[in-house]
Amino acid sequence: MEHSRRQFGRFAAFWFLLPCLAGLILFSIIPVFYAFWISFTDWDGLKPIDPRAGVPGFVGLDNYAAILAGEEFWRVLRNTLFFIAMYLPLILAASISAAMLLNRPYRGVAVYRVLFYIPVLTSWVAGALIFKSILSPEYGGVNDILRIFGIPGPGWLYDAKWAMPGIVLASIWKDMGFFALIFLGGLQGIDTDCYEAAKIDGAGVWQRFWHITLPLLSPITFFVIVICLIFSFQLFPQVMIMTDGGPIGATQVMVERIYRYAFSYYKMGYASAFSFILFAIIFVFTYLQLKLQKKWVHYDA
């Protein structure tokens, strides 16, 4: 009787899951394999696909070889890594700081938590346009504030040296609330007895933060780093709206190039190859993080 009930439960669960599984297969798994096949062709995205007629033409590994042998790929990869080198430490510092502020038991803290999260709900189109305006070298608010202190403001999005830092500022503003709430959950899970014991032993604020808060937040920090790296390699909307890849290619990144080759230059096979190279890079970075986490993530703290 119990066995037949289990069988019925599995059968019922399968039918409940079937719509989701069908959607996953039709709109995720099949397109991934299809894009992988396209990456070995010179299809332009316009001609009808008829393998018997030789369209798209099979070119083997030519697309991958052309990408890796070209100067553009390495320049774009450097731009992406430059963004990550600035964005990752700043978003971690900003998110942890915001989480610690929002973890204090003062009046109206729930309102502040909502206010911090509002940028996350804002569309990237609106957020990028706002930052494009406030970073304007002529009438932008950032340079106006710098002038008050006698500091000449940079050209920001019109300067090859400052364009990527401008995109980093916009990205931190947009993402900080999301990661701050994640860290807030981790902070609220820390037993206050740890802090009380440290105070009795004479530990100061910085010592408590360094030896208690950070180690106990290490699983959350690891999760945030993994997500931030994946987001960073997929950097796209803020670049397209704020700089369009300029000036002189200073903000061209991986996904921006994939978009250009697919929908501007109609080199769909080349763009597909570019996307799978990006997938391989993200996979390697994530794998390395999973291996290195044993050295600094404390799950049993």
239 assigned to some structural domain: yes
Residues 277/105, Cβ–Cβ less than 8 Å = no
In-domain check, residue 7: yes
Residue 301, in any domain of the structure: no
Q: Is residue 274 located within the same domain as residue 238?
A: yes
User: What are the tens digits of pLDDT across the range 256-299?
Assistant: 999 999 999 999 999 999 999 999 999 999 999 999 998 889 88
**Same domain as 110, residue 177:** yes
Tokens of 168: 């980093």
Is 204 part of any domain?
Answer: yes
Q: Verify that 273 and 192 share a domain, yes or no.
A: yes
- State whether 152 and 86 are in the same domain: yes
For residues 23 and 154, state if they share a domain.
Answer: no
| Per-residue pLDDT tens digits for 156-192 | 999 999 999 999 999 999 999 999 999 999 999 988 8
Q: What is the pLDDT confidence band of residue 252, given thresholds at 50, 70 and 90?
A: very high
Task: Give domain status of residue 148, yes or no.
Answer: yes
Total number of domains constituting the chain: 2
Lowest mean pLDDT among 93-102, 200-209, 260-269: 200-209
Same domain, 221 and 100: yes
Give the domain extent around 14.
1-38
Is 57 inside any structural domain?
A: no
Tell me, yes or no, whether 119 and 206 share the same domain.
yes
CATH number of the domain enclosing 76: 1.10.3720.10
Predicted local distance difference test score (pLDDT) of residue 128? 94
103 with 193, same domain: the answer is yes
DSSP string, 89-130: HHHHHHHHHHHHHHTS--TTHHHHHHHHHHHHHS-HHHHHHH
175 and 256 co-located in one domain: yes
What is d(CA 111, CA 205) in angstroms, rounded to the nearest whole number? 26
Q: Is residue 200 part of a domain?
A: yes
Same-domain pairing of 73 and 184: yes
Give Cβ neighbours of residue 137 (< 8 Å, ≥ 6 apart): 143, 153, 154, 155, 156, 158, 159
At 52 the pLDDT is: 60
Predicted confidence (pLDDT) per residue in 138-156, tens digit: 889 999 999 999 988 899 9
Q: Is-contact 124 176, C-beta < 8 A?
A: no
* Beta-carbon contacts of residue 204 (< 8 Å; ≥ 6 apart): none
For residue 136, tell me if it sits in a domain: yes
Residues 119 and 26 in one domain: no
Do residue 13 and residue 152 come from a single domain?
no
Mean pLDDT, rounded, of the chain: 90
Query: What are 10's two structure tokens?
Result: 């599995």
Note whether 285 and 225 are within 8 A (CB). no
